[in-house]
Amino acid sequence: MQFSKLKTALAVANLRNLGYQPKSAVLIGHEWANRQASRSINFIESELKCSLDIENKFALDSNGEGRLFASCHFSLYPLLFGELASQSKNRKVVSLIGMQSSQHQASLVELAHRFNVDLEFIASGFSMIREMKRALKQGNHGIILIDIPWAQDRRNKDLDCQHQAHGGRFRAKTSLFKLISIIDEYAKFALVQKKATGYQIIDFGLAQAANSYKAFAEVFHSDPADYERLHQMHQYFEFKEMANSVINFCVDGDHFALSSKTLKAWKMKESELEPGEILKSGTLIDRYRDLVGEDVTEIISI
């Protein structure tokens, strides 16, 4: 993914809203940014050459049909696409997507070809169920990633899946999981996890909302820096309590302040903070309160 200081600031803000202490949030945020920036095509290719410790290896049905899997953007999740393709008779995996540009789809298809994988996208719409069922019948495995908003409208998010480690809840629509069960009533939820000697793919059982988000919450808690969408978590997670924090960062000599409550950034004339500083009191706090127009109890400089 493209690296930017703004994304790091958003990741730190989300970590603070999840309850991580300021120093931990900064350390995890920088580790997250370093991992995402390093995951180039060459990195993925080298990791694919490592031996994978696959738990609950996926097997095709006896009638030769494929299976639908749900997953998240956690750890080196492209390995799951590769494993599913290797388990299909056509080395093909079909991905059901919400919103994605045609240009990005084309680049991902081209990337998959480098690994001898045929990747097909099915966009959400009236024909998506029919098309995905057709792909499964042809012996291809399918995949759907549940950790991105499947609707721009945040209303009608009727799922209430608690995040046990930090408080708060995942926001999604029941209809998403109804869609999964209509396509494949035995659809599975699987995640890739990093191990000391490589990676493992774990099958967490049926892709039901409570099971899926519980599993995701647990792996996220074990290593939040390995979650690609950490900077976007606020789009589908409702925090139990928002921190009164301002994240201070610099881009090409320009200074910015990001509110952890509104997740909006302001351009500043200058900054009196050095990277790594965390302020919880003093006149500078008052100035930031005036800048963002809300209560501020701490400033975190990254």
Residue spans of the chain under pLDDT 70: 1-3, 48-62, 99-101, 149-160, 164-165
Task: Domain ranges for the chain, please list them.
Answer: 5-38+244-301, 51-238
Burial 193-211 (b: 16+ CB within 10 A, else e): bbeeeebbbbbbeebbbeb
User: Using CA atoms, how far apart are residues 214 and 232, in angstroms rounded to an integer?
Assistant: 19
Q: What is the pLDDT of residue 255?
A: 92
The set of residues, in sequence order, having a beta carbon less than 8 Å from that of 153 and lying 6+ positions away, is none
User: Using CA atoms, how far apart are residues 234 and 171, in angstroms rounded to an integer?
Assistant: 9
Q: What is the pLDDT of residue 3?
A: 58
Residues 64-120 pLDDT 10s: 789 999 999 999 898 888 888 888 888 899 999 876 667 777 777 877 777 788 898
* Whole-prediction pTM: 0.89
| Backbone phi, psi, residue 18, to 5° | -80, -10
Q: What is the pLDDT of residue 1?
A: 44
Segment 124-128 long-range contacts (CB within 8 Å, at least 24 positions apart):
124/96, 124/97, 124/98, 124/99, 124/150, 128/96, 128/179
Other beta carbons within 10 angstroms of residue 26's beta carbon come to 23
